[in-house]
Amino acid sequence: MDQNGAVVGPLYLFELASSQARYLELRQSTIATNVANANTPGFRARDVEPFNKVLDGMPVRLATTSPSHLQLSPAETDTRATAKKDSWEVVHSGNSVSLEQEMIKGSDVSRDYSMNSAIVRSFHRMVLSSAKA
């Protein structure tokens, strides 16, 4: 169990990867909506909260199984701080969609999805090889 009483099973990585894949699907859909409305007067670009905000609700702490393990405070291990980015430009029609910024976000989603898939494949191979032994 973690600190919130939630049961963390041995295959927690699969659940986490699935949650991130759903998040990436939602973010890609939001980016596509922004691009589709790039010329719509008054349209405001949207984005979803960073995935680490999802993880904030379900912290998993590292186990200290030996007195020689390093003890770090939560402040020292917090890597979740991100700066909120505003749109790069607002045109005279009130539209705040920057196609360059949306393409960068789309590239980030693609990279994150590729990394997610690679981790799941590696973990799956590891589970299969341990089951064969």
Backbone phi and psi for residue 127, each to the nearest 5 degrees, phi listed first? -65, -45
Backbone phi and psi for residue 10, each to the nearest 5 degrees, phi listed first? -65, -20
Query: Domain residue spans in the chain?
Result: 9-43+95-132
Distance CA 69, CA 72 (A): 10
CA dihedral 72, 75, 76, 79 (to 10 degrees): 130
Mean pLDDT of 103-124: 93
Taking only the tens place, the pLDDT of each residue in 47-91 is 888 888 766 766 555 566 677 766 655 554 443 333 445 556 667
